[in-house]
Amino acid sequence: MSPMNRSKISDYKIKKIIKCFCSNIATTKTAEILELNRNTINRYFRIFREVIFEKQ
Among residues 44, 39, 50, 3, which one has the least CA distance to residue 20?
44
Query: What's the whole-model pTM score?
Result: 0.84
User: Residue 8 pLDDT more than 50?
Assistant: yes
Give the confidence band of 1 by pLDDT, cuts at 50, 70, 90: very low
User: Residue 50 pLDDT more than 90?
Assistant: yes
Burial 8-30 (b: 16+ CB within 10 A, else e): eeeeeeeebbeebbeeebebeeb
What letter represents residue 52's amino acid? I
User: In the chain, what are the domain boundaries?
Assistant: 9-55
Query: Tell me: the pLDDT tens digits for 14-48?
Result: 999 999 999 999 999 999 999 999 999 999 999 99
pLDDT at 4: 60
